[in-house]
Structure formats: C-alpha cells, structure tokens
Amino acid sequence: MKIAVVGSTGLVGGEILKVLEERNFPVTELIPVASERSVGKQITFKGKQVTVVGFEDAIKAKPAIAIFSAGGGTSLKLAPLFAEAGITVIDNSSAWRMDPTKKLVVPEINANTLTKEDKIIANPNCSTIQMVVVLNPLHKKYGVKRVVVSTYQSVTGTGKAAVDQLFAERSGDHSTEKVYPHPIDLNVLPHIDVFLDNGYTKEEMKMVNETKKIMGDDSILVTATTVRIPTIGGHSEAVNVEFGQDFDVAEVKEILEGAEGVVVQDDPKNFVYPMPLTAHGRDEVFVGRIRRDESRPNALNLWIVADNLRKGAATNAVQIAEYLLANNLA
C-alpha cells in the first residue's frame, strides 16, 4: 500500500515511520511530507533514504492512505484536498475530532464503525486514548457513570521544541526558545493547551468530550485536570471512576488482564506499577494501583500510563490503517 506521512519530520511523524516498520505494515511506497522548510530533506525508512516532498506532489502520487501529524491548521487546510483526491486521511490533530460527520477512532473500541465513505478519520487526543482503552471494557461490564482524572503529561506531547526546552534547561541553558510560559525542568505546570472561558484548558475539555464520543455514551460525566511534568517517556493518569453498580476488584483485574491492548502491572508490594520509563517505546496501555475508592460506593482508583507518541498517536493511527487494509476500506 502506498502511504503518505504528513508531518514526517516531527516527533509523532518519526514515531509513525518507526511503527510502520516495526509492525511490518506492507508499505509499497512511502511518501514523506513536511512543510516547505523541509522539502528536499532525507528521512530514513526501512534503511533507505527517502526525500521529503510538499503536499501537492504527495497528492499527485495518489497514496491510498495519508497519516497526518502536522498540526490542526495544516490538517484543516490539507486533509480535505487529500480526501477529495480519494485518499483516506487518518488525522492526529484535534481539527476533526468533534466534527459530527467524522469518526473518532480507537481500534480496540470502535473501528467496526468505519466504512469506505470515511475519508477523514480522526485519531483522538493522547491522554484520552490511554484512558478509554482501560475504561471501555469496565464500562461494558459495570457502566461508567463519572470519571475524575488528573494527568501527568510528558513534554513529548508538545513536540520537538518542548523536548529541546527541557534538556536545555537541564543543562543550565535558559536561552532557548520557550514553548511553555515557565521553566519546565524541576517544575510542574497545571496548564496544557489554551485556557477556555469556563476555566478549564482545551486539553481538559478534549478528555471530557472525546471520551463520550469514543465510548458512544453522552451520559458519562468526566472532569479533568491536565498537568505537564518534566518527563519524556509517556503520559500518566490518576483516574477515579464511579460505576452504576458494585464490582469486585479481583474481577476488575481479570477483565483488564483480558482486555485488548492493556497490560496490568499491579504488584505494589514488589514496587510493580506503571511508569513512563517502562512504558516508553511500547504500544500497550499499562494499568496498576487498582483499588477500591473507600470514600464512595461503586468507585475505583486506577493509575494508567502509556507512551503518548505510540498508543497516544502513532500506534493508534497505524492500527486504524491496518484495520482499513484488512477490511478493504481504503
């Protein structure tokens, strides 16, 4: 299959190339796309050098699928051009996620809703993906009523410039371009994406709205506090979930052990729990610290970690592409 990767020189784009290679996706021709700044540069794919092209050349090459990770503005402008040319777009930005005419897909949950007519498919927000992969199997059994989530998010979620800011600050250089309004090394910022009129950030409202859309249930109540921390391996989340009925903690663990894409790491006495260091580079979502919330009936506490560049972005997008290929939908 001919595949274009729009944003191929970025953090997520680089991870998409790695995931396509590792999962042995049958790429017959790779078309790497980036901004004008990068046209003509070389990227490496499967040990070969491939030249970065502009979007017009990519459309002319007629790939079956274009995976986008080039920001919302680029996506709003370019995705329809690719779609009009018959190319199926899988988009990592937030541009199309809440558009009621577009599907918001986590393959473990709702890939079966995809059809040939879906020409722009939205990949959800990274912190939402890892949460719903764990919540959905529990929702099927017990019915999720309300979720209270606090996140501890990696700087890789902001892109290359943020990783540069962290390591420059760590080496004592405070002169680099600032992506965040404050230092990030040795600090914690209760601020991800822009602040909205309701006092929440856009990232927090993505978790509220995208969870309902992916799990197909508008009655699920979600409240979120999203926080940036100076780590690079992945995002972590403390999740408190209230169900419509009581549950057995051992059964919750059993359900999660059998859930697609989930790995249970829950042996705290032996210091086994999910961490960004151990989730880094992995495709699965890790869950641990599974325990009853003793302050409230039918409520459970979880600690969920995943590599935001992998399952939170690249892996989820490539899994959508795999589904399209397997079901002859692109």
Ligand X SMILES: NC(=O)c1ccc[n+]([C@@H]2O[C@H](COP(=O)([O-])OP(=O)(O)OC[C@H]3O[C@@H](n4cnc5c(N)ncnc54)[C@H](OP(=O)(O)O)[C@@H]3O)[C@@H](O)[C@H]2O)c1
Q: Count Cβ atoms within 10 A of the Cβ of residue 16 and give its class: 0-12 exposed, 13-18 middle, 19 or more buried.
A: buried
Under 8 Å between Cβ of 87 and 65 = yes
Nearer to ligand X, 69 or 165 (CB): 69
Catalytic residue check, 235: yes
Nearer to ligand X, 142 or 157 (CB): 157
Nearer to ligand X, 169 or 203 (CB): 203
Sign, Cα dihedral of 100, 117, 328, 46: negative
- Minimal distance in Å, beta carbon 12 to ligand X? 3
DSSP state of 311: I
Collapsing DSSP to helix, strand or coil, 284 comes out as coil
Nearer to ligand X, 8 or 151 (CB): 8
- Minimal distance in Å, beta carbon 266 to ligand X? 25
Cβ neighbours of 97 (radius 10 Å): 22
Residue found by looking up tokens 């989340």 in the block? 237
**Backbone torsions φ then ψ of 230, nearest 5 degrees:** -80, 65
Nearer to ligand X, 179 or 208 (CB): 179
Position with the least CB separation from ligand X = 10
Between CA 241 and CA 198 the distance in angstroms is 23
Task: For the chain, count helices (H), then strands (E).
Answer: 10, 13
Please list, residue by residue across 51-69, b when 16 or more beta carbons sit within 10 angstroms of its beta carbon and e when fewer do.
ebbebeebbeeebbbbbbb
Alpha-carbon distances, residue 114 vs 75, 126, 181, 214 (angstroms): 20, 20, 40, 13
- Minimal distance in Å, beta carbon 55 to ligand X? 6
- Minimal distance in Å, beta carbon 211 to ligand X? 15
Nearer to ligand X, 241 or 314 (CB): 314
Between CA 9 and CA 171 the distance in angstroms is 25
Catalytic residue check, 280: no
Which residue is catalytic, options 126, 174, 182, 280? Answer: 126
- Minimal distance in Å, beta carbon 105 to ligand X? 13
Under 8 Å between Cβ of 120 and 80 = yes
Residues interacting with ligand X, by CB under 6 A? 6-13, 33-35, 37-38, 69-72, 74, 92-93, 126, 156-157, 159-160, 308-309, 312-313
- Minimal distance in Å, beta carbon 183 to ligand X? 20
DSSP state of 272: B
Catalytic positions, written as ranges: 126, 235
